Amino acid sequence: MKTGFPILEQVRVSPTIHRYLVLSGSGTYLGRMTQKHVPFSAIEAARDQIAPHVLRTPLVPAFPLSDACGAEVRLKLETLQATGAFKLRGATNAIMTLSKEDRAKGVVTCSTGNHGRGVAYAANLLGVRAVICMSELVPKVKIDGIKRFGGEVRICGKSQDEAEVEALRLMKEEGLVYLSPFDHPDVIAGQGTIGLELIEDWPELDMVIVPLSGGGLMAGIAKAVKTLKPDTRIIGVTMERGPAMYDSIRAGHPVEVVETPTLADSLGGGIGLENDYTFAMCRDLVDETLLVSEAEIAAGMRALYRDQQIVAEGGGSVGVAALLADKIQAKGKRIAVVISGRNVDMDIFTRIAGGEDVDLATVQPDGGA
């Protein structure tokens, strides 16, 4: 892919970003980028690199959920990471892998919230400047978390694509190093360390259920698990509203989606039509992908809180939601469910925990409905 300046040739380009490059005179791109897999060895290397800075999270029994499903279910609690989500793994690995020269330049990324928190935290730990570009759809709790960890926040547009345009502009004009939130080999390798831990802690497991968004988490976990235990069934779960990877796998190629307010806000955004890694890896390694509704997501959040005393955001609860909705053949299986994050607006969460099915498409800016 030729863009007119070399650094952009290393990143994925969506249609929105293509228009930005053309209109700004920055160049054009030709053809598709090669779809690749991140090697298993990179995941093993990431584990050693990030170990001093990232929690090896527990895999805990979920007895009420197990009873409801007729299965043995355990929860991988990425909610316990310092930033409240799994994204710390990939962000830490990516920043630690940078050269001293690139660290000195600072980093920029776009994020629906959790990746931005991870980048801000890891960058602050390593003394690196971090700029996080986000859309207007990102909840305030996630913006505040990024600022708390020292990240510089830029709010731009109503979609992840628009936020990415701003990130790439800053890369070009300020010389910052761009880190994709998911389609980056070091990010994927960092997320894949979860898969290593799952097999080490429960080698007998039959199935892993993973939240599905841009595919960085899924690609990394699937690569690790399928390498170590190929017969393990890998299932990706995402929301009905704007399911980019789900739609892309069914189309046979990356597609654009319209972003809509959803309880699973951390799963929002496209995967990029010029996707390098995650589309191919999810297509090749994932056994099944499925959708859950807003009401089902709320039920998953509610069950985790009432039965396990776990606060989880909507995107982190989709696996439990799918099990409770009987969308997965679980009976008699040993199932690990990744609970990917806890960074949720607590006013919204309190309403859901109290039994209300909240639809963010009807929630007013002041929090009313």
Active site residues: 87, 340
User: Collapsing DSSP states into helix, strand and coil, what is residue 233?
Assistant: strand
Distances (CA, A) of 174 to 63, 168, 171, 177: 52, 10, 6, 9
Q: Give the Cα separation of 141 and 347 in Å (integer).
A: 10
Q: In the Cβ-directed half-sphere of 251, how many Cα atoms lie within 13 Å? A: 13
Distance, CA of 58 to CA of 38 (rounded, Å)? 25
Write phi, then psi, for 158 (nearest 5 degrees): -115, 15
Instruction: Catalogue the E-assigned strands of the chain.
Output: 59-61, 72-77, 107-110, 130-134, 152-155, 177-178, 207-211, 233-239, 288-292, 334-339
Contact 217, 338 (CB under 8 A): yes
